[in-house]
Amino acid sequence: MKKFMIFVGALTLSGTMFAQKPASDDSHYSLEGLANLNTTDGMSWTAPSIRLRYFVNDNIAARLQFGFGGDGSSANGLPSKETHLYSNAAGDANGTVQINRSAWDLKLGGEYHLKGTDKMSPYFTANIGFGSGSEKQTWTDVFYSNPVDPTSSLTYSQGFSVTATGGYKTIGWGLGAGFDYYVADNLYLGLELNLSSTKVSHDDTVTDATTPVGSSTSTSLGSTMSYTNIGAAHGSVRIGWRF
């Protein structure tokens, strides 16, 4: 096993030694995966993205990026589906809270690549982006322990049900810098950091509640917020293939 690992390491090193970045005449496209780092409110990794680039020439590239993300906060690290159980005192019946979330974002941009070296291609980039997200909660036989106090804890409550839906939309822009480092022919690793500004518009939240004494519908008005990540960069670690 040790000899095998030495062989693999030597093979990787030799590939890196002879790797060179391709010219746009030979390889117009690249496809890469991104692991996204968010530092808006603490270090956290968010859902990955994919990016397609088209090299007009050796210096200029257009790009399209798609990801399952959110509004740039740590909230987009929440799971897409959750189920919580609430048992009655006897433990022979359960109420459930089901939460379903979905979110996506799309970014269009361009890159300007500097001369760099035979293996490394540093660049500057600018992009605009937009996205959307939604959440739906369904409570079955679950309600507040104090029915008139929505800040009280949830508990098993037979005959109670709640459905709440809401969502948001985003639009923004970003400026950044990064590099591609070719570790083998047409295969590269990269790092990118961006400073960005985003506007988030939250939709109205509609809640339908059914209790043993009747039903009701309430609406909480949405809100809009903007934030600029100066000093709280969004980064990505990338691996890609140029073709």
With beta carbons less than 8 A apart as the criterion, state whether 154 and 207 touch: no
Q: Domains in the chain, please, with CATH?
A: 2-242 (2.40.160.20)
Q: Is the pTM value of this prediction over 0.85? A: no
Q: Which positions ≥6 away from 143 have C-beta within 8 Å?
A: 154, 155, 157, 160, 162, 211
Q: Which positions ≥6 away from 159 have C-beta within 8 Å?
A: 141, 211, 212
- pLDDT (tens digit, 0 to 9) for every residue of the chain, 243 residues total? 455 445 445 545 555 556 788 988 889 999 999 887 765 555 555 667 899 999 999 999 999 999 876 544 444 556 788 999 999 988 899 999 999 988 889 999 999 999 999 999 999 999 999 999 999 999 999 999 998 898 999 999 999 999 999 999 999 999 999 999 999 989 999 999 988 888 889 999 999 999 888 999 999 999 888 767 655 567 888 999 999
Give the C-alpha separation, 181 to 21, whole Å: 8
Record the tokens describing residue 243, joined without a space.
Answer: 């073709």
